[in-house]
A and B are shown apart, each in its own frame.
Chain A
C-alpha cells in the first residue's frame, strides 16, 4: 500500500535506529505531541529501537482525552433529551463523564449516533426536521475546518435544528503550558503532522525561539517518527532550536489557506479547560458571534454548568508527560480498558490505552 508500506519498512527502521545511536552523545527528552504518534510509537516499538539515552515523553495530543468532563456531561444531558439526537465520533462514547459515559446514556434510551463526519449530522438534521441534531465537535485544529464547514453548510441551508457542542482545543497554547510548567523535562518536540497540514508551521516559530526547543513537524508512520526523532536530536546536539518539517508530503509551511479561512470565520479563540491540565488561555475554539446560534450549550441552556472533579486519577500527569502510563499505580489493575479511570485509557489514541493494548514482553 503506497505511503504506508514504505514507511513501515523494517530494514529502513533499523538503519534509522543506527543513525540515531551514532549522533546521540548525551541524554535527551523528546515529547511527541499527538496521540496518533504515541500509538504508532508503542504499537511499532519505536521506543525499543532508540538508544537508552533518548527518553520519549507522551504529550496531550489526544482530543478525546483532554475534552473537559463538563462537556461529556453536557453531551449526555443533551443525548437523554427526547427531542435530541447526539452525533459523535466513535471514541467519545466510552469516555467517562462525572457519572457515566455516552454509551451508558445510549443504553438508557438516549439517541446517540456514531458518525464519520459532521456533514452526516447536517444531513440528518435535514432529514429529521422535528428533532434537534447536535454534533459533538471534538478535536484539534485537524477536525475544526470540517466542523466549520458543517456549521456553514447548516447556515446556508437555513437549518434551525442543527447545533454543535464545541470542545475544540488548540495545540500551540498547550505546548507552551507544558514547556513553561514547573516540572517540564521536554527538550524537543515532535509536532503533530495533521494539525500542521491545516495550520502551517508559523505558530511554532515563536515557541521554538522563546523556549529554545527544536520542533520537528512529523508524520505518523514508524519511519516518519524515526526520521523526526533523528532531526530533533541532530538539532539538540548542535544547540539549535528551529522549526523543521519531516512530514513534507503532508505539510506546507503556509498550511491550508481555505481551511484556515473557514475556521477563522466560524470559530474564535477562547480559553478552554483541558481535562487533566486545567484552563489554558487561548487553548480552545468556540463559535464566533455570527454563528453563536449554532452553539448547543446556548440552545440547551447548559452554559453555566460546572463540575468539581475528584482528584485521584493520574491522567493529568500522563497527559503532561510527567509519568508514563505503566508508572501509574492503577495501570492494568484498577484501570483497564474495560473499567477505565480516565480518558487516556479509554480513547483509542490515549497513551494509557496504547500502553495497555500493545504491552510488551521481554522474553522472546
Chain B
C-alpha cells in the first residue's frame, strides 16, 4: 500500500522575486530586505544611519525632524478612522517618536478617475479635524489624477516636519541593557478593524481602530524630565516588528512577557477566528517607550494620566543580545519573537 521508497519531493525554491509582491509592503522581513537592497544602498547617506521613524537633521543649531509616509488603505473609511485622519496621525506619530513637536504637513493626493468628489470632501474634512487635534497645519500639497483602474480610489502621501527641543533625543542607538520597555495600550485593533471592514466580516461588536495622535503623550514624557532613550510607534508588522527593528538597530536584546501585553477580548476573538497573532497586527495609536530603569515607574504614571495611555504597562526589559533580538516568555518557556516575512494570511482550517 505504501511506496517502497518514499518519493521525497521538493520544489525549486522561490529565493528572489523578480517583481514586487504584496508581501513587500507588509512591514516584515521581505519589506526590510527590499528597503535595504534597493533604497538604502542607493540613497546612502549618514542621515539614514540612525534608522528611526524620522530623519533628525541639524541646520544652524536648530534640530528638526523630517518624515514622509504614503497611505493606500482600503477601504477608505473604516471604524475609528479613514485614510485622511490616518494620513495625518501616521506622519505626526513618526515625528513624535523621533522626539519632535510636529508642526507642518504637506499632503499629496493621487485621485483615481471616477472618485466621487463628495468622498474627497469627507476625507479632507477628516484631515483638517485631525490636524487640529494634533496641533499641526497642512501647509502645502499636490493633486494628481490617474485613469480609472490605476489608483484604487485615492492614495495620499504626507510629509511632515517638527522641531526637536533642546536636550531631547529619541534614538534606537541610545537603548541599553536594563531599560524598561513600556507600551501605552492594547494591541491589534487597527489591523483587525481595517480587515473586518475590507472583507465584510461582521463580528458581534465592531472593533474600532486605535488611530490617534501620540505627540502630546510623547511631549508629556519628555516634559517630565524622564530619561527616555527611544520611542517607536507600532504600525505595520505590529508590536513584533517594532521591537525587532529597535533591537536590531541597537544591537541589543529585548525580552518581553506575553502575559503583560494587553489585547482586547474582541481583538483576541477575531484573531483566534482568523488564525492571526495580535503581536503582528497593525496599530496606529500605540508606541513602545524605552526608558531608563530608574524612571520606569514615573513614566508609567505620566502615561496612565494621559487619555491615550490609560492602560500603559511595562511589557519587558532590554538585555544584552543573546540568541535573537527579541525573546518572549510564554506558555511553555521562552521563545523567539521574530517579524513575519510577509502578511499574515488567514489559515485554511
Binds B, one of A99-107, A242-250, A284-292: A99-107
State whether the Cβ of A312 lies closer than 8 Å to any Cβ in chain B.
yes
Select one of B4, B19, B345 contacting A348, CB under 8 A. Answer: B345
In the complex, what residues of A have CB within 8 A of residue B345's CB?
89-91, 93-94, 114, 348
Select one of A92, A98, A338 contacting B11, CB under 8 A. Answer: A98
In the complex, what residues of A have CB within 8 A of residue B327's CB?
361
Select one of B13, B30, B199, B336 contacting A358, CB under 8 A. Answer: B336
Digitize B258-289: 1 where CB-to-A-CB distance is under 8 Å, 0 elsewhere: 00000001001100100100000000000000
Q: Which of A125-182 contact B (CB under 8 A)?
A: 138-140, 142-143, 176-178, 180-182
Chain A residue nearest to B346 in the complex (CB): A90
> Are A97 and B8 in contact (CB-based, < 8 A)?
no
**Complex Cα distance A313/B9, Å?**
6
**Complex Cα distance A341/B269, Å?**
33
> Are A278 and B7 in contact (CB-based, < 8 A)?
yes
In the complex, what residues of B have CB within 8 A of residue A10's CB?
331
Select one of B199, B269, B272, B331 contacting A116, CB under 8 A. Answer: B199
**Complex Cα distance A312/B275, Å?**
31
A337 and B348 in contact (CB under 8 A), knowing A101-B14, A361-B327? Answer: no
> Are A276 and B9 in contact (CB-based, < 8 A)?
yes
In the complex, what residues of B have CB within 8 A of residue A20's CB?
none
State whether the Cβ of B311 lies closer than 8 Å to any Cβ in chain A.
no
> Are A100 and B331 in contact (CB-based, < 8 A)?
no
**Complex Cα distance A315/B6, Å?**
11
**Complex Cα distance A18/B68, Å?**
55
State whether the Cβ of B332 lies closer than 8 Å to any Cβ in chain A.
yes
A337 and B3 in contact (CB under 8 A), knowing A104-B19, A363-B322, A363-B323? Answer: no
State whether the Cβ of A84 lies closer than 8 Å to any Cβ in chain B.
no
State whether the Cβ of B23 lies closer than 8 Å to any Cβ in chain A.
yes
Main secondary structure of the interface of B (DSSP, over half): loop
> Are B10 and A311 in contact (CB-based, < 8 A)?
yes
Q: Which of A311-364 contact B (CB under 8 A)?
A: 311-317, 320, 322, 334-343, 348-349, 357-361, 363-364
**Complex Cα distance A208/B345, Å?**
36
State whether the Cβ of B22 lies closer than 8 Å to any Cβ in chain A.
yes
Digitize A1-15: 1 where CB-to-B-CB distance is under 8 Å, 0 elsewhere: 100100010100100
Select one of B6, B12, B272, B349 contacting A98, CB under 8 A. Answer: B12
> Are A180 and B322 in contact (CB-based, < 8 A)?
no
State whether the Cβ of A214 lies closer than 8 Å to any Cβ in chain B.
no
Digitize B325-349: 1 where CB-to-A-CB distance is under 8 Å, 0 elsewhere: 0010011111110101110011111
Main secondary structure of the interface of A (DSSP, over half): loop
State whether the Cβ of B133 lies closer than 8 Å to any Cβ in chain A.
no
> Are A94 and B12 in contact (CB-based, < 8 A)?
no
> Are A341 and B322 in contact (CB-based, < 8 A)?
no
B143–chain A nearest beta-carbon distance, Å? 29
A72–chain B nearest beta-carbon distance, Å? 8
In the complex, what residues of A have CB within 8 A of residue B13's CB?
96, 334-335, 339-341
- Residue picked from B201, B323, B334, B349, most chain A C-beta under 10 Å: B349
- Residue picked from B7, B30, B269, B323, most chain A C-beta under 10 Å: B7
Select one of B4, B323, B331, B349 contacting A143, CB under 8 A. Answer: B349
In the complex, what residues of B have CB within 8 A of residue A338's CB?
29-30, 33, 341
Digitize A62-77: 1 where CB-to-B-CB distance is under 8 Å, 0 elsewhere: 0110000100100000
> Are A349 and B11 in contact (CB-based, < 8 A)?
no
Select one of B2, B8, B322 contacting A316, CB under 8 A. Answer: B8
B317–chain A nearest beta-carbon distance, Å? 13
Chain B residue nearest to A97 in the complex (CB): B11
State whether the Cβ of B1 lies closer than 8 Å to any Cβ in chain A.
yes
State whether the Cβ of A272 lies closer than 8 Å to any Cβ in chain B.
no
Q: Which 10 residue pairs across A and B have the least CB separation, nearest first? A: A45-B332, A313-B10, A90-B345, A316-B8, A278-B7, A96-B11, A361-B323, A309-B9, A107-B19, A44-B331
Residues of B at the A interface (CB closer than 8 Å) are 1-4, 6-23, 29-30, 33, 199, 201, 265, 268-269, 272, 275, 322-324, 327, 330-336, 338, 340-342, 345-349
User: Can you list 8 A-B contacts (CB < 8 A)?
Assistant: A1-B269, A8-B331, A309-B9, A310-B12, A311-B9, A336-B341, A338-B341, A359-B324
